[in-house]
Amino acid sequence: MAGTLGTTYLQTAIRRLRYYKLLGEKAFGQLTDADFHYAPNEASNSIAVIIQHVSGNMLSRWTNFLTEDGEKAWRNRDEEFEVHNYSKQQLLELWEKGWQCFLDALTSLTGDDLLKTIYIRKEPLLVIDAINRQLAHYPYHVGQILYIGKQIKDTNWQSLSIEKGQSEAYNKSDGVKDPAKKQ
């Protein structure tokens, strides 16, 4: 996996992940402080709780990524799902802290690192598999954030994708279609 293929993989993974980070931030821009704490029912998480979890996961998994188990002793995962009533600003700072840790770790990797073994909860994974795992995990939570934001804002939601009924026009338009390539 070393060399060009590994470097290309890392560049495309980082670009995709930055796109999902941006999607979350575009959703946050449409929300009030109170919106971050809305949960449709007791079994569901608010956007605030999702941010707390994503940030906690990123900090645990990606701090000293190549040399320490990704489930740090200092992480309290269950606490991430508790209501803390953080302000919007505090939540945005948590979001940024997690993403910064994650993206710093990814950008420090080389193609030669992709076949190294790391550990999460003492389970061995190849670095490339750990990245793939997060390529599924973090966008999953960003999708939840967007879905909750749409519920809250209803007809005032500013679409972050192709508007309903606009697919044909979008496909015929000029320019790059893949939003992650625009990053």
- 61-82 residues labelled b (16+ CB within 10 A) or e (exposed): bbbebeeeebeeeebeeeebee
**What residues does each domain of the chain span?**
19-156
Mean pLDDT over all residues of the chain? 94
Predicted pLDDT at 164: 85
For the CA atoms of 45, 133, 131, 44, what is the dihedral angle to 10 degrees? 0
CA gap 103, 106 in Å, rounded: 5
Band (pLDDT 50/70/90 cuts) for residue 1 is very low
Counting residues of the chain whose pLDDT is more than 90, the rounded percentage is 84
Mean pLDDT of the 41-52 span: 96
Look up residue 58 and give its amino acid. Answer: M
CB 149 within 8 A of CB 35: yes
Mean pLDDT value across residues 69-78: 97
pLDDT for the residue numbered 37: 98
| CATH number 3.10.20.600 is the correct assignment for the domain at 19-156 | no
Which has more pLDDT, 68 or 180? 68
Residue 173 has a pLDDT of 84
Which of the four pLDDT bands, split at 50, 70 and 90, describes residue 169? confident
Pair 9, 128: CB distance under 8 Å: yes
State mean pLDDT over 34-55: 96
pTM: 0.92
What is residue 151's predicted lDDT score, i.e. its pLDDT? 95
Mean pLDDT of 86-91: 98
Q: Do residues 69 and 120 make contact, with C-beta atoms less than 8 angstroms apart?
A: yes
